[in-house]
Chains A and B, each alone.
Chain A
Amino acid sequence: MNVIIKAENVDHWYGEDDNRTRALKDISLEIDEGSFVAVLGHNGSGKSTLAKHFNAILTPELGKIYVAGMDTSDKDLVIDIRRTVGMVFQNPDNQIVASVVEDDVAFGPENIGMEQSQIRPRVDAALMSVGMYEMREHAPHMLSGGQKQRVAIAGVIAMRPRCIVLDEPTAMLDPSGRREVINTIHRLNRDYGITIILITHHMNETVGADRLIVMSDGEIIADGSPKSVFTRVDMLRRAGLSVPDTTQLIYLLRQEGFDLPLDALTVDECAAAIYKKFA
Chain B
Amino acid sequence: MAPVIQTVNLTHVYSPGTPFEQTAVDNVDFAAERGEFIGIIGHTGSGKSTFIQHLNGLLKPSSGRVLFNGEDIFASKQKTRETRFKVGLVFQYPEYQLFEETVYRDIAFGPKNMGLSDEEIDRRVRDAAGFVDISEDQFEKSPFDLSGGQKRRVAIAGVIAMKPDVLILDEPTAGLDPMGREEIIGNIVRYHNSGENTVIFITHSMEDIARIAGRLVVFSKGRIFMDGTPKEVFSRAEDLRSVGLDVPDITLVMMKLKKLGLPVDDSVYTVEQAKAELLKLKGRGKDV
Classify A-B as touching or not with yes or no (CB < 8 A).
Answer: yes
With A245-B207, A245-B248, A278-B262 as contacts: A43 and B147 at CB distance below 8 Å: yes
Contact A175 B43 (CB under 8 A): yes
Interface flag for A253 (CB, 8 Å): yes
With A144-B44, A174-B204, A256-B279 as contacts: A249 and B274 at CB distance below 8 Å: yes
Contact B253 A249 (CB under 8 A): yes
Interface flag for B119 (CB, 8 Å): no
Interface flag for B133 (CB, 8 Å): no
Residues of B within 8 A of A256 (CB): 275, 279, 284
Mark interface residues in A22-36 (1 if CB within 8 Å of B CB, else 0). Answer: 000000000000000
Contact A249 B256 (CB under 8 A): no
Bound together, the chains give a CA A248 to CA B180 distance in angstroms of 19
Bound together, the chains give a CA A245 to CA B252 distance in angstroms of 11
Bound together, the chains give a CA A171 to CA B178 distance in angstroms of 12
- Within 239-279 of A, Cβ neighbours of B (below 8 Å) are at 240-242, 244-246, 248-249, 252-253, 256, 267-268, 270-271, 274-275, 278-279
Contact A267 B256 (CB under 8 A): yes
Mark interface residues in B249-275 (1 if CB within 8 Å of A CB, else 0). Answer: 110110011001110000000011011
Residues of A within 8 A of B256 (CB): 267-268, 271, 275
- Within 152-210 of A, Cβ neighbours of B (below 8 Å) are at 171-172, 174-177, 201, 203-204
Contact B260 A271 (CB under 8 A): yes
Contact B43 A43 (CB under 8 A): no
Residues of B within 8 A of A42 (CB): 177-179
Interface flag for A46 (CB, 8 Å): no
Contact A279 B44 (CB under 8 A): no
Interface flag for B278 (CB, 8 Å): yes
Residues of A within 8 A of B204 (CB): 174-175
Contact B180 A176 (CB under 8 A): no
Interface flag for A92 (CB, 8 Å): no
Interface flag for A145 (CB, 8 Å): yes
Contact B148 A43 (CB under 8 A): yes
Bound together, the chains give a CA A146 to CA B118 distance in angstroms of 46
Interface flag for A44 (CB, 8 Å): yes
Contact B253 A253 (CB under 8 A): no
| Shortest beta-carbon distance from A265 to chain B in Å | 10
Q: Which of A44, A144, A175 contacts B246 (CB 8 A)?
A: A175
Contact B257 A275 (CB under 8 A): yes
Residues of A within 8 A of B281 (CB): 278
Bound together, the chains give a CA A268 to CA B174 distance in angstroms of 28
Contact B257 A252 (CB under 8 A): no
With A145-B44, A274-B253, A278-B262 as contacts: A249 and B246 at CB distance below 8 Å: no
Residues of B within 8 A of A246 (CB): 249-250, 253
Interface flag for B282 (CB, 8 Å): yes
Interface flag for B244 (CB, 8 Å): yes
Residue of B nearest to A177 (CB): B44
Which 10 residue pairs are nearest across A and B when measured between Cβ atoms?
A: A271-B256, A201-B177, A242-B178, A240-B179, A267-B252, A42-B177, A171-B175, A43-B177, A245-B249, A271-B253
A-B contacts, 13 of them at CB < 8 A, read A43-B147, A43-B176, A43-B177, A43-B180, A44-B147, A172-B175, A176-B43, A203-B178, A245-B250, A245-B271, A252-B272, A253-B278, A271-B256
Chain B: residues with CB nearer than 8 A to chain A? 43-44, 147-149, 174-180, 204, 207, 244-246, 248-250, 252-253, 256-257, 260-262, 271-272, 274-275, 278-279, 281-282, 284
- Beyond A201-B178, A275-B256, 14 extra complex contacts between A and B, CB < 8 Å: A90-B175, A177-B44, A240-B179, A242-B178, A249-B271, A249-B274, A252-B272, A252-B275, A256-B275, A267-B253, A271-B253, A271-B260, A275-B257, A275-B260
